[in-house]
Structure 1
Amino acid sequence: MKRLWAPWRIGYINKAIAHKKERCIFCSKTPARKNDLVVTQTPLSRVMLNLYPYNNGHLLVAPLRHVADIADLTDQELLDLFKTVNKAKQLLSRTLKPSGFNIGINLSRTAGAGITGHLHVHIVPRWEGDTNFMPVVFGTKVISQSLKELLKILRKNLSTKDKG
């Protein structure tokens, strides 16, 4: 079995634990502020670039309402969340042309969630051979594009359908 290791995430997880009392990263973001890395949002969901990506184009899709578990979503929020996940995946397909995706939700710290208080879906584009020797030998993940550059390209490639 091959693994996608992300050992640098422990710093992110520890930071999230230490700053639990600060504002939620999903609740405090807005598309109006470029540094917030919000690609787009619907009336019920928000799409953001992951500040600590597993791969280039790693997006997070979260409901606007602060809920910790998928069971806490209304039917309308659940439908909007997964329609938004699908639209975000299509945007990445058009823009970055990956050969596959990992899409998932980590519910609880035990399941790997770095942020446990606000439900979010990870969309990770994948390419053949996208893991190499750098993480193993040097403990470094090579991300081929800056977040600001990618944000600009994704926003430019948003179609009317992607916006909700």
Structure 2
Amino acid sequence: MHEPDNFDRLWTPHRMAYIKGENKPTGSGADDGCPFCEIPKLSDEDGLVVARGSAVFAVLNLYPYNSGHLMVVPYRHVSGYDELDATEVAELGDFTQKALRALREASGAQGFNVGMNLGHVAGAGIAAHLHQHVVPRWGGDTNFMPVVARTKVLPQLLADTRELLARAWVG
């Protein structure tokens, strides 16, 4: 029997898929269930794709740190930044700039965390396929929920965020 403890509960059952590692690649190859290789085959809405280029695409993170957290991903299945060719590097940089502008316009982001985790030991959840994170930040966006309760409150559904950012994307 459950004893009342005067705590409210904020349930986030969608996070269980991430915690359990569901839909994670089974190996390091492109054909081993890599989501970054599968996403471009989907519609923008189903894949949460914000924008597509010739060498890279921008996609919302399915398990975001903040609303609007997206990633810039090369189509080509490579794990290292040093494996990208000049065209991929240039478009990755261009898409990162466009992501910053779109997030500022669509959500009034006041700052950003931008970066890559290269390799599992560096924190990459999917180390076999390079991806650059663009995480919008606002003053006070780290409050008691993530610090004390290890819970992030996201005020917008991913589909709505994708639509908003796709409309704000220029170029």
TMscore range, shorter length: 0.7 to 0.9
Aligned equivalent of 1:24: 34
Question: Given the superposition, is the C-alpha separation of residues 72 and 23 from structure 1 closer, same or farther in structure 2, using an over 3 Å criterion?
Answer: same
One-letter identity of the residue aligned with 2:74: P
- In the alignment, which of 38, 59, 69 is matched to residue 58 of structure 1? 69
- In the alignment, which of 9, 15, 29 is matched to residue 21 of structure 2? 15
Structure 1: unaligned runs, 5 residues or longer: 1-8
Question: Given the superposition, is the C-alpha separation of residues 67 and 60 from structure 1 closer, same or farther in structure 2, using an over 3 Å criterion?
Answer: same
Q: Pick which of 101-110 and 17-26 moved more.
A: 17-26
Structure ranking higher on relative contact order (CA contacts 8 Å, 6+ apart): 1
Q: For residues 47-73 of structure 1, what are the alpha-carbon distances to aligned partners after superposition, in whole Å with 9 as ceiling and x for unaligned?
A: 000011011110010111110000111
Aligned equivalent of 1:3: none
Q: CA deviation at 1:96?
A: 0.8
Where does 1:3-152 land on structure 2 (aligned, <5 Å)?
12=18, 15=21, 19-21=25-27, 22-30=32-40, 32-152=43-163
Task: Give RMSD over aligned pairs.
Answer: 2.2
- Tell me, yes or no, if the aligned pair for 1:16 and 1:114 is still in contact at 8 Å: no
Q: For residues 57-114 of structure 1, what are the alpha-carbon distances to aligned partners after superposition, in whole Å with 9 as ceiling and x for unaligned?
A: 1001011111000011111111111111111111111111111000001001111100
| Percent of residue pairs bearing the same amino acid type | 42
- Tell me, yes or no, if the aligned pair for 1:95 and 1:154 is still in contact at 8 Å: yes
Aligned equivalent of 1:5: none
Structure 2: unaligned runs, 5 residues or longer: 1-14
Q: CA deviation at 1:11?
A: 6.7
- Tell me, yes or no, if the aligned pair for 1:16 and 1:115 is still in contact at 8 Å: no
> Aligned to 2:155, what secondary structure does the other structure show?
coil
- Tell me, yes or no, if the aligned pair for 1:89 and 1:123 is still in contact at 8 Å: yes
Q: CA deviation at 1:136?
A: 3.0
Q: CA deviation at 1:144?
A: 1.4
Give, in whole Å, the separation in 2 of the partners of 1:141 and 1:50: 14
For normalisation by structure 2, the TM-score amounts to 0.81
